[in-house]
Amino acid sequence: MNNSSGVPQFAGMVALIALLLTGCGGPATKNASTASPDMERIEEEFAALKQEFEQNNPAAGQQIEALRTELQALIVAQDEGIEKLNDQTMNLGNRVALLSDQVEQLRKRIENLKPQPASPSPARKSKKKAPRQPPPSSSDRKGIFRPDTYKIQVSYKAALQDYYDGKFEQAIGEFGEILAMAPGSDLADNAQYWTGECYFSLKNYRKALSEFQKVFTYPKTNKGDAAQLKIALCYRELGEPANARAELRKLLRDYPRSEFRSRAQSELKTLGE
């Protein structure tokens, strides 16, 4: 059997392997599953060429199989890297949300501490001294925190800390106490949102979905876009891609200036839109 004809075939085989390896080095957002038509075609060509080449040079079969194994290992490593990057992005988003909470609460405290303008005293009609009025009670002073308000703020910070310490079930109880004690508090919508985050971290996506939807019962919430994104992610994890895409489109439509727009667009691409 003439082995000289195997040289160009071997060169073609090497070129094909190089093409496969080059495909693995593309952007991190493209993995083996998203390029299935091309991969199937290349696999078919690879199998046919491998069979033909082995007939002329049986010893080369082991080298080809080793290259194929290396290719599969690269694909697996790429998929694991993408999953790890997605987890890091989600954790960073949670940290940003926490900082936003803290800035918002600080702003509200500063507003409460500002002295209120004194009302003008009425013109005197006589020189008779008016009876002295008792000093205002502590609940009437604008610059003093009422004990219940202060307690809620302390409880909220403790619950957030438990969330970031991974004590999700304990944090759920603490956020629940805030919602029960002060459902009209400025922190109520935030407590509701972080309750959803706790269930999401526990991978109870159906319950998390319900909790995130409750955020919208607070008309003035500043957590609307964040909750909208997490509703979409809950549907994604529950295996309902159509609902996930619909919720992501709703985020892009209702919150044109949201910091989560790029994340929503990326998720839509991942979900095939």
Joined together, the tokens standing for residue 153 give 């703020």
pTM of structure: 0.52
- Assign 135 to helix, strand or coil: coil
Residue 94: its pLDDT value, please? Answer: 58
Rounded to an integer, the average pLDDT of 45-53 is: 72
* Least confident span in 118-132, 184-198, 231-245: 118-132
Of 80 and 8, which is predicted with more confidence? 80
Instruction: Flag whether pLDDT at 142 surpasses 60.
Output: no
Contacts for 49 with CB less than 8 Å, ≥ 6 apart? 9, 12, 13, 16
Give the whole-number percent of the chain exceeding pLDDT 70. 59
Q: So what's the architecture of 89-104+145-270 in CATH?
A: Alpha Horseshoe (1.25)
Instruction: Show the tokens assigned to 70.
Output: 């290396």
